[in-house]
Amino acid sequence: MSEDSKYVEHCKGINGLDKVILREVRGCSAEIYLYGGQVTSWKNEHREELLFVSSKAIFKPPKAIRGGITICFPQFGSGALDRHGFARNRFWSIDNDPPPFPTNTTNKAFIDLILKQSEEDAKIWPHRYEFRLRITLGPGGDLMLTSRIRNTNTDGKSFTFTFAYHTHLYVTDISEVRVEGLETLDYLDNLKDRERFTEQGDAITFESEVDKIYLSTPTKIAILDHERKRTFVLRKDGLPDAVVWNPWDKKAKAMPDFGDDDYMHMLCVEAACVEKPITLKPGEEWKGRQELSVVPSSYCSGQLDPRRALSV
């Protein structure tokens, strides 16, 4: 076994789809399908799963995989293209010769993927682009995704897109989860035709369907899983918005690739750029980054110091 193969393994996943497994020495791991460029598993050193994948997820193109971290590009949500764009149901290639990333790292558990325009894409979105995605598993188990999107049009045309890391976190019980860092912010409510409101609570808790796009959000958001006494910390860069979504019971039952009770163990909190789309001129590049880590909650008696959770 070569030194690198300890950290990066290429293998077959469900239905023979190509998959990459990243491993770190402490025992944490991540799994990425080349179909969709999608992270479908992220485990800590105790082999506990931290991402949610639906019990009825369909690992068969052209259906997108329900769960994990879905790449929404060049469109988040509904619009001229199919919902959430096409990057999530395309086959990505491994990029063996990526341009240097600005962050100098000694991490060995990483993979570089690339997606470019196909003839199929050109019919629905007539722009040439290079989408480079680096997925890194840090020595402490942190999961980092860095996207770099370049306009490679030769016709002089700019293009515009929206984007999200559609991140499905595994939670023990949705009714015992709270999100901190988004209080007092404005949001667009997708359940009310994207009408604009201001968040009133001191934290976000869940007792019914939620589908909101928070605007001008901080670079750190904390998701507290009280029952497991752990906190997900989401850090982001280049992505001003944050989407929070849980379909709740009725919508869960209406989705064929979503288990009836899956909503109880899932919460989407996603770094995104939705309100103000990104425009790139030919030759220009955009970069957006999301980092996920898990820390023990200081929650013990119903009180949690948000400064502690967010300053980790």
Active site residues: 166, 270
Within 8 A by CB and 6+ apart from 184, the residues are 198, 199
The SS3 of residue 263 is: helix
* Residue 302 CB burial class (10 angstroms; 0-12, 13-18, ≥19): exposed
Strand residue runs (E) in the chain: 8-12, 18-23, 29-33, 38-43, 69-72, 93-94, 110-116, 129-137, 143-151, 159-170, 177-180, 186-189, 195-198, 204-205, 210-214, 220-225, 230-237, 241-246, 266-280, 285-296
Q: Of 241, 198, 236, which Cα lies nearest the Cα of 217?
A: 241
User: How far, in Å, are 1, 29, 199, 212, 280 from residue 192 at the CA level?
Assistant: 55, 39, 15, 10, 30
Task: Quickly tell me which residue has 């994990």 as its tokens.
Answer: 68
Contact 101, 133 (CB under 8 A): no
- CA distance linking residue 188 with residue 196, whole number of Å: 5
CB atoms within 10 A of CB 161: 24
- CA distance linking residue 75 with residue 200, whole number of Å: 29
Q: Which two tokens mark 98?
A: 């990526």
Half-sphere exposure of 193 toward its Cβ, with a 13 Å CA cutoff? 0
